[in-house]
Homo-oligomer: A and B are copies of this chain.
């Protein structure tokens, strides 16, 4: 289904990396936990690397590790790193510019969509990878540890 699962996988991967600490993880190993193909993992790791969230090393004894502290990586950054597309799409073809509604509806909608984007950013910015890891470690305390706020 064309709704991407990249965000879910990316959070999963980063949580594994945070869990591993300094030890670099191989795409093969990660793919095992996520239950998919190593190439799929490498593609996502590549996007995360471009966003400066992880660093990889090729060669034997290579692998990937976090480029920053887990507490410094918000889900907002993760989302932006792996989801290029906007949530909402505008009209496929431009509305009739002669119609009083059609001539301006896109501008009005765009403002709405920006507001939604901001709200999403705010919510995603509340949680860090460290927060997720804490929820994973202590499921019962999940509701609490999820509040690892920053800014």
Contacts and interface: CB of A to CB of B under 8 A. Distances in A.
Interface of A: 1-5, 7-9, 11-12, 15-16, 19, 32-36, 75, 85-96, 99-102, 104-109, 111-112, 115-116, 119-120, 122-124, 126-127, 132, 135-136, 139, 142-143, 146
A70 B16 CA distance: 49
B5 A96 contact: no
Contact of A87 (B36, B87, B96, B112): B87
A93 to B, nearest CB: 5
A15 B102 CA distance: 10
Contacts of A102: 12, 33-35
A144 B70 CA distance: 41
Contact of A95 (B33, B92, B101, B122): B33
A58 to B, nearest CB: 25
Contacts of A16: 99, 101
Given A35-B96, A142-B111, A101 B136 contact: yes
B12 A95 contact: yes
Given A2-B2, A104-B136, A105-B15, A91 B35 contact: yes
A85 B33 contact: no
A141 to B, nearest CB: 12
18 contacts: A1-B85, A2-B3, A7-B88, A8-B88, A11-B105, A15-B101, A15-B105, A19-B101, A32-B99, A34-B102, A35-B91, A36-B92, A75-B112, A108-B132, A111-B146, A112-B124, A112-B132, A119-B122
